[in-house]
Amino acid sequence: MALTIGKSPLARSPGGKFNFEIERLPRHLLYLEDFQKRIRGQLAGKTIVDSRRGKLLHETGKLAQWHVPREDVEARALEPSGRRQEHPFRGVATYYSVRAGDRSALDAAWSYEQPEGLLLVGLVAFEFDKLDGWLEEDDPVRGHPRDPYHRFDCNHTSELASCCSRRRTGCRRDAARDQALRNQHSAQVLHPNCRRDAWLSGAVDVIAHILSV
């Protein structure tokens, strides 16, 4: 379950074994990585966050958390709330209220001006449930950001793709359901308009790939 929770590799009590002594690792781990998908957050019908340069922060015992560059947040939406909170592993957080029209969400965002260890400077994180809605690519996300190490997620995407077999190209559609397309990885995908008999045939491998436009 994810990277840092339960019996996962970077949890406090991992279920598997490493080829080194796990006791040498810090008890509390943070891991920051690029997030390849488009992130959008909305409040009162306005888009507050729109980023393709997001980061995903994994932390021991916590769900993964999106962080986005300050430049990808609506400039007039963040108002300092006066709250500051020290975190033993992340540094001192400065909190902001998020405003859109007549709506204001208190302490809904925060940033670390002097983070401990990780390069969180210039990034903003959000209290997920304090905004009205979130989109990962074109799909709504509820509860918390999806963890890519927990499960394989498919998304609607506007990228042009094709369904192919060893023998022929089946169809071209703008709405192939697989984020692997964006990363140009092969994946088994069947668009609703592709031939079902080709999918069922054991001799046919259905491959989805990006087409040059």
Helix, strand, coil % over all residues of the chain, rounded to 5:
10, 40, 50
pLDDT at 159: 66
Q: Which fold has domain 22-141?
A: 2.170.150
Cβ proximity of 135 and 39 under 8 Å: yes
Average confidence score pLDDT of the chain: 76
| pLDDT digit string, tens, across residues 148-175 | 776 555 677 776 655 555 555 445 444 4
pLDDT at 103: 95
Cβ proximity of 66 and 38 under 8 Å: no
Q: Tell me what the mean pLDDT of segment 10-30 comes to.
A: 73
| pTM attached to this predicted model | 0.64
| Residue 7, token pair as written in the block | 């019996």
| pLDDT digit string, tens, across residues 71-128 | 999 989 999 999 999 988 888 899 999 999 999 999 999 999 776 666 788 999 999 9
Looking at the chain, the domain(s) classified CATH 2.170.150.40 span: 22-141
d(C-alpha 79, C-alpha 86), whole Å: 19
